[in-house]
Amino acid sequence: MFDSTGERWGELYPSRPGFHSMKVAGFFLLLAGGGLVLAAVALLASSLPRTSFVLAGLGVEVLGMVLVARSHLPEQGDRG
């Protein structure tokens, strides 16, 4: 693809390998963690299993946020 100046997008915005898949995986983990929390609150009546599933869901959401945040960081070049 070309932009309005005639330059290629790949030259302006180089992509990293695994960049897109890491972002998508992070958003899916966010959704899965939220679904786990909602399902635990809706389906479990006892306090101990509900709390453990809510904590597990929040842990999955934290993992998703870490992946999304890391996918937005700029790539670091060689520091040598």
pLDDT digits (tens, 9 = 90+) for 38-61: 999 999 999 999 999 999 999 999
Position 62 scores a pLDDT of: 94
Question: Domain ranges in the chain?
Answer: 18-72
Q: How far apart are CA 39 and CA 11, in angstroms?
A: 45
* pTM summary value: 0.67
Cα–Cα distances in angstroms (integers) from residue 54 to residues 11, 21, 68, 73, in the given order: 45, 26, 21, 29
